[in-house]
Structure 1
Amino acid sequence: MTTDANLYDAIERSHDTTWQDDVRAGVRQVRDLASLPLSPAEREAAQRAAANHKVRIPKAYLDLIDWNDPADPIRAQVIPSTDELVEQEGELDDPIADHEFSPVPRLTHRHADRVLLFPTYQCAVYCRFCFRKESLTSIGRGYTREALKLALAYIADHPEIREVILTGGDPLSLSDKALAEIRAGIEAIPHVRLLRIHTRVPVALPSRITPGLVAALQGRLMVTVVTHFNHPREITDAAEAACRIMRHAGFVLLNQSVLLKGVNDSVEVLEELCRELMYRLGVKPYYLHHGDLARGMAHRRTTIAEGRALAGALRRLLSGICNPTYVIDLPEGGGKVPLGPCYVEGHDGEAWRIRGQDGEVRTYAEIVGEDSRRS
């Protein structure tokens, strides 16, 4: 565990170089791949794949890659591969139906009490497995106040909406001024209670998490930041410092990971990731996503059976607070559905057969009042 003194040193070091410098020193376009320590064949393959979908990797994240390991889990997430160009029948441009449930531009309303708001379609880092990579490549637009007018008006006209989720693109890649404007626009709508932010920035560009960013997001609304750590090697001193800044600001921190073949599809990796998220960063493991049907991602998807086995193993190894829920985000807007193990084997009236974590099936006899039986 890093001490507070070391953490504050890490914060100071990260701010010696601005987050914009970190972005500029990394990979920002296809031609920047030529500067990476790749073989000629690997470079040609990466450039070919990057021509199809955007590439951007901040230097802080590049520095985590072990270039001597072709199967490095950090490398696998951001360095383009020609495997991405192999599409399978049934893969989709819009795997979770963002566009089908978009009544106005920049907004998706798939669930009654919450909406997705897209202030930008640009990211600090472009993950190769992203389920929105088709949209991010084809749209590519950033933030303007005018672009969100219809979306904010829609939210104001729907009093059932209690939660606004900033996604994209990565909302924390925007300036403090833009974030403050967006937050103010949302909190001016009385029935909205919570602002949720989905971001990869604390992982790939932790220097972006500054007191100014935090201040831009503070106001009337409860703020929840959902990070996206996939591997324990991503949990660095700088990431720890970034999360501590947000925790001290009173933000609720959650994490959603994607189950990725060759990256985190082992009990040992997921166990370490979930423990360190909670115990070191103070970030609750929230979801472990089954890989969406994004085009060209078959080589990174596990089977559901493999995912269920991993989820069952984590349930036995980790405390509840460290356990994520294994989910699939169904096509056609079906929403997130838990895929984890079910321990109910069956029942006969009030006698239920339930399998314990030790594998043994026990009978649990319900004992309830007469009113409960009648209902």
Structure 2
Amino acid sequence: MSKDARTISNKRAQELKDSIQDFLEAREHIVTGEKISDELARRRSLILELFNASEQDWSDWKWQLQNRISDVETLEKILNLTESERQEIEQVGKDYRWAVSPYYASLMDPDDPECPVRKQSIPSAQEVKDKAGVTDPMAEEFTNPAGNVTRRYPDRLIINVTNQCAMYCRHCQRKRNIGEVDKPTPKDVLEESIEYVKNHAEIRDVLLTGGDAFMLSDETLDWLLTELRKIPHVEIIRLGSRTPVTMPQRITQNLCDILTKHLPLYVNTQYNHPKELTAEAKKATFKLARAGVGLGNQAVLLNTINNDPHVMKTLCHELLKGMVRPYYIFHAKKVKGTTHFNTRVEDGLEILEKMRGYTSGMAIPSYIINAPDGHGKTPIVPEYMISQGRDKVYIRTWENRVFEYPNDAPEQ
């Protein structure tokens, strides 16, 4: 390589480094689960003391589930609540159920009401003040041809297997289904759903969700996966679960052994902030990966939580470190009780603009708006093709450079 070529290369390398200097500086101040591991261990010890429990209890997902926090009296022993916050939680709890696993509670900053984990899990008065949202913006009632099926696309469908979750997200799109009682879908309804799949040979992809698919018992999951695997035209099965985020203890070796029997399987989870990528969370995702399960993340774009390009990029980097592929960023739906989390579409576009070219393609999810009334996922992307002609197009690169590019092909 000539001296001039090396000089030009080094100048370009410096330009590239300078282009992400703002991210490199911002990243230092973004909280991740990895950075606060010592603090999380201290909070875990305090919660174990509160529950008079052991480390063995902590590692047991059934203990985590049985000891979910759902009353202010217990919560205020973990978080420093003001009197107004206490009253808000009690008031909202009359209309909307809430519950938090001890593990997820340990991620909350006890002194900061703006903590992204707190805001996702602890009720806010804004939920009952919401006049803009609707209960079912996806019109799921009208996309349910049988059993507990939701069908919006030609070759795939959802089976809703339970209304139960490890933690009830304040931004939940199915807030209307939570209720006060955890209800796995009855077996006869699941059988009707499976029968529908059997009778429709065009269905090649089935998603089990709810609620949270991993809230089913191991035995029920094994039965359900076995029945679906008997159907010749079902090629892949996906499971929707937030337990790797909110209760990673659920990812047991026995569960992984069951999932391995039914490959190819894919698990889509929902990490929304890098603080949620703790050592325990990554241990769970690595176990799933070693079991042969493909992992994707479907983040929801949430106001004041992750609608920031630097936060979202950090989240995606942390996901890849945990063997999870960033898959979607969902624009939050206008669900009743959740619209205070809504953002402008420009927020999502800015995030993509700050990622394409500035980080590896594997780290870049698709930004999706769900069309109203169940009309499906619509990708929203920045405009990179400026104009198109018969013989040439004009393209805009990630650095906002415009190029003419030939639009031709050999004559046939």
TM-score (norm 2): 0.83
Q: 1:257-302: per-residue Cα shift (whole Å, max 9, x none)?
A: 0010111111111111001101x10110000011111112222111
Question: Which of residues 204, 210, 229 in structure 2 aligns to 1:168?
Answer: 210
Question: How far 1:33 moved relative to its partner?
Answer: 4.4
Three-state SS of the structure 1 residue aligned to 2:64 is: helix
Aligned partner (choices 42, 54, 70) of residue 85 of structure 2: 42
Q: Does 1:344 align with 2:348?
A: no
Shift of 1:176: 0.8
Residues 72-103 of structure 1 deviation map (CA, whole Å, 9 limit, x = unaligned): 010000000010112234x2211222221001
Q: Is the 8 A contact 2:263 2:292 kept in 1?
A: no
Counterpart residue identity of residue 50, structure 1: G
Pairing partner for 1:314 from 350, 355, 362? 355
**C-alpha contact 1:121 1:169 (8 A) present in aligned 2:** yes
Q: Alpha-carbon deviation of 1:138?
A: 7.8
The one-letter amino acid paired with 2:196 is Y
Q: Which amino acid aligns with 1:230?
A: N
| Pairing partner for 2:108 from 65, 73, 79 | 65
Q: After superposition, give the CA deviation of every residue in 1:93-129 in whole Å (9 maximum; x if it has no partner).
A: 1122222100113111111111101111111110000
- Structure 2: distance between partners of 1:252 and 1:115: 19
Map of 1:55 onto structure 2: 98
Q: Name the larger-Rg structure.
A: 2
Asked whether the equivalents of residues 30 and 51 of structure 1 are also in contact (C-alpha less than 8 Å), the reply is: no
Equivalent-residue separation in structure 2 for 1:245 and 1:15 (angstroms): 20
- Structure 1: segments with no counterpart, 5+ residues: 3-12
Does residue 1:180 correspond to 2:180, yes or no?
no
Q: Residue in 2 aligned with 1:234?
A: 276
TM superposition shift of 1:254: 0.6
Alpha-carbon shift at residue 17 of structure 1 (Å): 3.4
Between stretches 104-113 and 22-31, larger displacement belongs to 22-31
SS of the counterpart of 2:356?
helix
Contact 2:327/2:366 (8 A) holds in 1 = yes
Question: What is the rounded CA distance, in whole Å, between the counterparts of 2:265 and 2:361 in structure 1?
Answer: 23
SS of the residue 1:134 aligns to = helix
Match for 1:287 among 321, 328, 333? 328
Q: Decide which of 238, 250, 255 is 1:213's aligned counterpart.
A: 255
1:16 Cα offset (Å)? 6.1
Structure 1 letter corresponding to 2:328: Y
Q: 2:374 aligned with 1:333, yes or no?
A: yes
CA distance in 2, matches of 1:21, 1:86: 35
Structure 2 match to 1:370: 411
SS at match of 1:182: helix
2:259·2:293 contact (CA, 8 Å) conserved in 1? no
Alpha-carbon distance, 1:317 to partner: 2.0
TM superposition shift of 1:149: 1.5
> 1:40 is matched by which residue type in structure 2?
E
Distance 1:188 1:29, change over 3 A: farther
Q: Distance in 2 between matches of 1:23 and 1:86?
A: 30
Determine the C-alpha separation between the residues in 1 that align with 2:350 and 2:149.
Answer: 36
In 2, Cα distance between equivalents of 1:119 and 1:347: 47
Name the counterpart of 1:17: 59
Tell me if structure 1 keeps the 8 A contact 2:389–2:407: no
Q: 2:345 aligns with which of 304, 311, 319?
A: 304
Q: TM-score, normalised by structure 1?
A: 0.91
The verdict on how the C-alpha distance between 1:126 and 1:362 changes in structure 2, with shifts beyond 3 A counting, is same
Number of residue pairs matched by the alignment: 359
Q: Indicate conservation of the 8 Å contact 1:29/1:54, yes or no.
A: no
The one-letter code matched in structure 1 to 2:116 is: P
- Structure 2 match to 1:10: none
Provide the residue aligned with 1:106 in structure 2: 148
Match of 1:95 in 2: 137
Q: Which runs of 5+ in 2 are unaligned?
A: 1-32, 35-54
**Counterpart residue number, 2:23:** none
Alpha carbons 2:240, 2:268 under 8 Å: kept: yes
Q: Is the 8 A contact 1:183 1:216 kept in 2?
A: no
Question: What's 2:310 paired with?
Answer: 268
The percent of aligned pairs where both chains have the same amino acid is 33
| 1:79 maps to 2:147 | no
Q: Give the Cα–Cα distance (whole angstroms) in 1 for the partners of residues 220 and 264 of structure 2.
A: 19
Aligned CA distance change for structure 1 residues 319 and 304 (closer, same or farther; 3 Å):
same
Instruction: Give 1:322's aligned amino acid.
Output: A
Q: 2: CA distance between counterparts of 1:341 and 1:72?
A: 30
Give the Å deviation of 1:135.
2.1
Moved more, 233-242 or 44-53: 44-53
- Provide closer, same or farther for how the CA distance between residues 325 and 233 of structure 1 changes in structure 2, counting only shifts above 3 A: same
